[in-house]
């Protein structure tokens, strides 16, 4: 899985003009599922999101994870994260998992985050969404889960 993490002061997602997810302080996680990803990558991604120490402690140092900071996660599926722009001018999305493969893994990340005690808001899988956020820092990170044993980079 490829995930773009943004530390935010607030964020919200709308579909067809209706707000479907909102958080205050926390993390926006844009999640892209690779064709070779499975449950192990989803679990790794959730654990990594939950454990990232990217929030300031009382000394102003990035020492707190999202739970310790009292934050939430807004999880948004985004297949375009697996787009390749190496050739031509149109991205290739052959590395992106099909919706049938990707949706259960996206849902698995959400369930794993909730099981870790993190409040989670979501976008809508396969919807055309508008995501608004106030990036805090800005802090933006890219997570690539370790590949499966059958996948090599």
* Alpha-carbon gap, residue 146 to 153, rounded angstroms: 10
Q: Residue 106 is encoded by which pair of tokens? A: 């996206």
Q: Identify whether 77 is part of a domain.
A: yes
Q: Identify whether 149 is part of a domain.
A: no
Are residues 97 and 34 in contact, defined by beta-carbon separation less than 8 angstroms?
Answer: yes
25 carries an active-site annotation? no
Supply the pLDDT for residue 149: 57
- CATH code for the domain of 46: 3.50.80.10
Q: Identify whether 116 is part of a domain.
A: yes
Catalytic residue among 3, 41, 45, 78: 78
Domains contained in the chain, number: 1
* Alpha-carbon gap, residue 120 to 114, rounded angstroms: 7
Catalytic residue among 80, 134, 140, 148: 80
45, 50, 51, 55: CA torsion to nearest 10: 130
Q: Identify whether 15 is part of a domain.
A: yes
Which stretch of DSSP H or E encloses residue 101? helix 99-115
Q: Identify whether 151 is part of a domain.
A: no
Q: Identify whether 52 is part of a domain.
A: yes
Q: Identify whether 8 is part of a domain.
A: yes
What pLDDT, in 10s, does the model give residues 15-59? Answer: 999 999 999 999 999 999 999 999 999 999 999 999 999 999 999
Q: Identify whether 152 is part of a domain.
A: no
What pLDDT, in 10s, does the model give residues 63-114? Answer: 999 999 999 999 999 999 999 999 999 999 999 999 999 999 999 999 999 9
80 carries an active-site annotation? yes
Question: What backbone torsions phi and psi does residue 117 show, to the nearest 5 degrees?
Answer: 85, 20
pLDDT level of residue 151 (50, 70, 90 thresholds): very low
Cα 60 to chain center, whole Å? 25
Domain of residue 7, residue span: 2-144
Q: Look at residue 152 and tell me whether its pLDDT is greater than 80.
A: no
pLDDT level of residue 140 (50, 70, 90 thresholds): very high
DSSP state of 110: H
pTM: 0.93
Catalytic residue among 6, 41, 55, 79: 79
């Amino acid at each position: 899985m490829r995930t773009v993490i943004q530390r935010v002061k607030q964020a919200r997602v709308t579909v067809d003009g209706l707000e479907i997810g909102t958080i205050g302080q926390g993390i926006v996680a844009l999640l892209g599922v690779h064709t070779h990803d499975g449950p192990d990558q989803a679990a790794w991604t959730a654990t990594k999101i939950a454990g990232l120490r990217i929030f300031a402690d009382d000394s102003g140092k990035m020492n707190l994870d999202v739970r310790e900071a009292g934050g939430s996660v807004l999880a948004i599926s985004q297949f375009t994260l697996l787009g390749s722009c190496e050739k031509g001018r149109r991205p290739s999305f052959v590395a992106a998992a099909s919706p049938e493969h990707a949706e259960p893994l996206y849902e698995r990340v959400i369930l794993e985050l909730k099981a870790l005690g993190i409040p989670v808001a979501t976008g809508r899988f396969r919807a055309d969404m508008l995501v608004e956020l106030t990036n805090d820092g800005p802090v933006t990170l890219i997570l690539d889960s370790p590949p499966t044993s059958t996948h090599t980079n």
